[in-house]
Amino acid sequence: MLTIHRLDLEDARLLIKGASEKARDIGVPMCIAVVDESGNLVAFERMDGGKTTSVIIAQDKAFTAAAARKATHEYNAANVPGNLAFGIHAEVGGRLSTVGGGLPVLVNGEVVGGIGLSSGTPQQDMDCAQAGIDYFEQQRQ
Amino acid sequence: MLTIHRLDLEDARLLIKGASEKARDIGVPMCIAVVDESGNLVAFERMDGGKTTSVIIAQDKAFTAAAARKATHEYNAANVPGNLAFGIHAEVGGRLSTVGGGLPVLVNGEVVGGIGLSSGTPQQDMDCAQAGIDYFEQQRQ
Amino acid sequence: MLTIHRLDLEDARLLIKGASEKARDIGVPMCIAVVDESGNLVAFERMDGGKTTSVIIAQDKAFTAAAARKATHEYNAANVPGNLAFGIHAEVGGRLSTVGGGLPVLVNGEVVGGIGLSSGTPQQDMDCAQAGIDYFEQQRQ
Amino acid sequence: MLTIHRLDLEDARLLIKGASEKARDIGVPMCIAVVDESGNLVAFERMDGGKTTSVIIAQDKAFTAAAARKATHEYNAANVPGNLAFGIHAEVGGRLSTVGGGLPVLVNGEVVGGIGLSSGTPQQDMDCAQAGIDYFEQQRQ
């Protein structure tokens, strides 16, 4: 029997709060998705002005980061022609995202969920995802 | 040019709050989705214990109610063999839901979004969706 | 070698014009799709106020009527439990529509396209689809 | 509550008219899609001779340009191996197009819809999309 640790809704809200505060700071309204360790959605918010395409993209980034236990920008680095991983962005019906902005959420070295941001540049999305994780880790202590 | 009114994130949070309070009252953890008038997600929460299938079903109910401007239980009533609408539950890639629990959200007679609940019986889902709308209307005043 | 006859864009515009005039007469803004004999879109109009879900449903009705060479309400009549055709509404990824409102367009006894309407009741959708065909046949003479 | 501005059908017809006149000028029959600000189809025309694949591609380009508020050729520029956005062409079920020919339609600095062209070279598609916007802006005055 396996014992799994998984973000609860309160955890997800902390992640979204930290990410959205950073998004407000940089002036980019975002779509923010938090998923559990299996990649299924726990919470989502589209800030007023977030892009419609980003509703799905944010979820796909979070899904990828959690369910593959890897940041989407790490997949991005490997997703270049000639690399044996090239083409992975089309997997899982295109849900596997190789666009920066999806990060796994770890507790005690274990992936318990993922966070995905979309609407800014990939770097902005990554920064806000990290801000969500920073806030989550700070508030949990 | 058309002028459209659409729920903002603060509105969506009110809808989720009202629905989740009702869900707690009846002891059924729910997935709760709120979409804009075109059916795109604005906010989502899975209460701890909400079903994994309901992550999608709640979104599909909210999508249907908003984008078709009709409660999913109204589609349910028409979706019987022999009725000219029968089979509509498979439309839009199966996203058109005819399961009770999706309600359009109206302001001044105009559909501005939708709310969809899933994890309980359809009647429980409908009651919680209505509780979300009741709370939203009360708090907006 | 096969020789196929297919609606051109001018034909499609006539079909849409006739259907939309009827829709205006009955006061129901519609989504109107016209496809070729293979079910691929030739022209589409969403009248102001047409439903968002109907964007896809109208296309699926037209697709079904043309590509299966059968009105969607005829499929509806057969799509009842116990009938050997039951369940056909989920075929072709759910694109096969059994909801009234899709009609094949025939010229000299040959299916050259299809028209699909959505946003009203199935009967309203059927009436407007027929009005489109009537207008098309009248103008071609 | 948010207030959104959206193309109406008359606006969409202007965009298609301008684009198709340009397409006729250069001798390339096109598929032309116009969507609202959320990416849902408002009007579509396949000129006689337009490609069947382009029925979907034109819609995806228009969807992307409107719902992501960015021209598809701008996504194209970022969608190169090594760029953090690489792989984005597979997002949203593959509907996010990075092929030139999709442009957002702006009124008073706000995205109110999108236009997508397909059947020519990407540059021809872009030129015709721009011609649609030019004609729309000229006729609205």
pLDDT of residue B140: 87
pLDDT at D141 over 80: no
Tell me if B94 and C94 make a contact (CB, 8 A cut-off): yes
pLDDT at B96 over 90: yes
How close does chain B come to D61, measured CA to CA in Å? Answer: 19
The pair of structure tokens assigned to D69 is 């508020």
pLDDT of residue A140: 86
Residue for token digits 């040019």? B1
Q: Which residue of A has its CA nearest to B42?
A: A46
Domains and CATH numbers, chain B: 9-140 (3.30.450.150)
pLDDT at B14 over 90: yes
Closest of A1, A18, A35 to residue A116, by C-alpha? A35
Q: What DSSP state is assigned to residue A100?
A: S
pLDDT of residue C65: 98
Residues B46-93 have pLDDT tens digits of 999 999 999 999 999 999 999 999 999 999 999 999 999 999 999 999
**CB-CB: which of D63, D85, D89 is closest to A122?**
D85
pLDDT of residue D41: 98
Residues in C touching B93 (Cβ below 8 Å) = 56, 93-94
**Is A122 part of the contact surface with chain D (CB cutoff 8 Å)?**
yes
Query: Does this complex have an ipTM over 0.90?
Result: yes
**Is B2 part of the contact surface with chain D (CB cutoff 8 Å)?**
yes
pLDDT at C44 over 80: yes
DSSP labels, chain D: -EEEEE--HHHHHHHHHHHHHHHHHHT---EEEEEETTS-EEEEEE-TT--SHHHHHHHHHHHHHHHTTS-HHHHHHH-STTSTTTTGGGTGGGT---SS-EEEEEETTEEEEEEEEESS-HHHHHHHHHHHHHHHHHHH-
Question: pLDDT exceeding 70 applies to what percent of chain A?
Answer: 99
Residues D113-127 have pLDDT tens digits of 999 999 999 999 999
Picking from D92, D97, D110 by the largest number of A CB atoms within 10 A of its own CB, the best residue to mutate is: D92
How close does chain A come to B32, measured CA to CA in Å? Answer: 9
pLDDT at B141 over 80: no
Residue C48 and residue D13: Cα distance in Å, rounded?
Answer: 12
Q: Judged by CB atoms within 8 Å, which residues 79-118 of A form the interface with D?
A: 79-81, 89-90, 93-94, 97-100
Residues in C touching D8 (Cβ below 8 Å) = 48
**Is C52 part of the contact surface with chain D (CB cutoff 8 Å)?**
yes
How close does chain B come to D131, measured CA to CA in Å? Answer: 19
pLDDT at A59 over 80: yes
**Is B64 part of the contact surface with chain C (CB cutoff 8 Å)?**
yes
**Is D139 part of the contact surface with chain B (CB cutoff 8 Å)?**
no
